[in-house]
Structure 1
Amino acid sequence: SLPEISVVILGAITSLTDEFKAFSTQVGGAFEHINDNFHGLDSRMPRMEENIAFLMFQFLPHHPPPLPPSPQGD
């Protein structure tokens, strides 16, 4: 009968809605985790760049580093 069908349909919709809520919470959590990792990376980036420059200087054939411009003395 019609009421039984509507109860079944409503049950299915409710179940799907709950599943979707759980899924979107999970996705939200994953994105938050990725975001936190990016912020962590951002704060470490300058240090990483220093390390990379240092390693390149140590191991790659290189020219002497350019001298800093001398202050213009009167």
Structure 2
Amino acid sequence: MRVVIVVAVLVLIMVLVGWLRLSSPEGNPTIQVDTERVKEDTSTLVEKSKQVVDQAAEKVDASIEREPAELEPVQE
């Protein structure tokens, strides 16, 4: 039952995003997948992900390059 619900949710998301079109011209139900749009959207997502990872890597590198704060000796 869970599998059916997951598949239904995925199909609904794909319809809402515009990757999948459901129609019934002349009474014949059809499903159309817009593969070009899927390719464009996934390419955009991959590029944005790369940018985010690069920015995170730059921040990590910058924090590593900073010298640690000077610690004062503990007075007993």
The structure whose residues are more often helix, as a share, is: 1
Q: Could you say which TM-score interval applies, normalised by the shorter chain? A: 0.5 to 0.7
* Superposition RMSD in Å: 2.4
Percent of pairs identical after alignment?
Answer: 2
Residue 23 of structure 1 is matched in structure 2 by 45
Gaps of at least 5 residues in structure 1 are: 64-74
Q: So what's the TM-score if we normalise by structure 2? A: 0.51
Letter of the structure 2 residue corresponding to residue 33 of structure 1: Q
Letter of the structure 2 residue corresponding to residue 62 of structure 1: Q
Q: Runs (4+) of structure 1 moved beyond 4 Å?
A: none
Which structure ranks higher in relative contact order (CA pairs < 8 Å, sequence separation ≥ 6)? 2
Q: So what's the TM-score if we normalise by structure 1? A: 0.52
